[in-house]
Amino acid sequence: MTALSRNELKATAFDPRSAPQEQRLAVGRLLRDAFVFAYPGDPPPLPEKEAISLAQLNPDEQMDHFVVWDGDRAVGWAKLGYDLKQNTHSAHARIVVHPTRRRQGLGTRLWAALREVADREGRRVVMAGTSSRSPAGEAFAEHLGAEAALPNRQSQLDLSTVDADLLARWQTRPDGDPYRLHVWRTIPDEYLERMADMMMVMNTAPRGDLEMEDWTITTDMIRAWDAMLEEAGEVRFLMAVEDTRSGQIDSFTEMFWQPERAALLHQGATGVRPMARGLGLGKWVKAAMIEHVRRQCPEARFVRTNNATVNEAMLGINEAMGFEPWATFTEWQLKLS
């Protein structure tokens, strides 16, 4: 099939829930190619898994997708996600253009389509994230006039270099310690509401200049996340610390792992309630998690995590464990007139 000229390429609406499987796979191949270009040393994602993620939605979330097609090949894709009940002033964007088709105006056309949705839905702030491993994204955000609202450091831990003595010290608890460590993949029903309450402690994490209101985490959200992970074949390891005197969860951490990309683990959220800080709970769950995933995922070699550059407490824990700077990740904010 003859390739279309750049003037003939348009951003067209795309519904991954009703689109043919081959079209979803075409977008999945685009996402894989863009990932491999930015992260050549990483195990690549599977197009089939990327295709599954396209149709996944959180409760009360809406997602509008657009694709630039060149014949049956997806050369550009974008989405705009927005919650219908919370933070209704904002939306989150993602734009991907195939590495071989950049600087042809495709990103601009995709952004124009997203901008129309944002205006239609009354969203006055659009947020997006970029990595220094893909400088084109940073340049495009600057071109649109977005502000770098929250700089993050991406760090990587080589699991073969972890200090076993440090892990043991961080897991040593005082005599009569009232705290109990739970290890879960799926949160038991009897702890679901307590974990939803605990997860909202992430509202205390640094936000920089992001115009974002607190989020309410519901039990329905957690179960929806569970279902999405299961559908995608992704494993979540979760540890939580319970105060046995009250039954309250005072700390948690989570990691994510894909068997087909076995060498790499991703550290998710880690949180400690403000009233329980200074008791070593954060170090405890982090150290216990490292030991746990090394047993559960013997092929894993690295752990990656993101932390706001102003989050000195968590950066200090990670640095003590051996995490080293790997890249930067910037959360951008574009205020729409």
Amino acid identity of 304? R
Nearest CA among 201, 166, 170 for reference residue 283: 170
Given strand 264-272, what is the order of strands in its sheet?
A: 11-14, 61-70, 73-83, 90-97, 125-131, 324-335, 147-158, 302-308, 264-272, 248-257, 235-243, 179-184
Q: What residues have CB less than 8 Å from 229, skipping those under 6 apart?
A: 235, 236, 256
- Beta carbons of 131 and 118 less than 8 angstroms apart: no
What's the pLDDT at 8?
A: 75
CA distances for 109 relative to 34, 67, 97, 134, 323, angstroms:
18, 10, 11, 20, 39
Instruction: Output phi, psi for 138, to 5 deg.
Output: -65, -45
Q: What residues have CB less than 8 Å from 108, skipping those under 6 apart?
A: none
Q: What residues have CB less than 8 Å from 323, skipping those under 6 apart?
A: 155, 156, 157, 303, 305
Amino acid identity of 296? Q
Q: So what CATH class is 155-329?
A: alpha beta
Distance CA 217, CA 204 (A): 14
pTM to 2 decimals?
0.93
pLDDT tens-digit profile, the chain (337 residues): 445 556 679 999 999 999 999 999 999 999 999 999 999 999 999 999 999 999 999 999 999 999 999 999 999 999 999 999 999 999 999 999 999 999 999 999 999 999 999 999 999 999 999 999 999 999 999 999 999 999 999 999 999 999 999 999 999 999 999 999 999 999 999 999 999 999 999 999 999 999 999 999 999 999 999 999 999 999 999 999 999 999 999 999 999 999 999 999 999 999 999 999 999 999 999 999 999 999 999 999 999 999 999 999 999 999 999 999 999 999 999 999 8
Residue with token string 């936000």: 207
What's the pLDDT at 135?
A: 94
Distance CA 97, CA 106 (A): 7
**Half-sphere exposure of residue 223: CA atoms within 13 angstroms, side-chain side:** 8
What's the pLDDT at 1?
A: 42
What are the boundaries of each domain within the chain? 6-123, 155-329
Q: Do domains 6-123 and 155-329 have the same CATH topology?
A: yes
What's the pLDDT at 337?
A: 82
Nearest CA among 256, 286, 276, 267 for reference residue 181: 286
What does the pLDDT look like over 35-65, one tens digit per residue?
999 999 999 999 999 999 999 999 999 999 9
Q: What residues have CB less than 8 Å from 118, skipping those under 6 apart?
A: 80, 82, 91, 126, 336
What's the pLDDT at 2?
A: 47
What's the pLDDT at 157?
A: 98
Instruction: Output phi, psi for 256, to 5 deg.
Output: -125, 145
Fold assignment, 6-123: Aminopeptidase (3.40.630)
What does the pLDDT look like over 4-19, one tens digit per residue?
556 679 999 999 999 9
Distance CA 24, CA 49 (A): 10
What's the pLDDT at 7?
A: 64
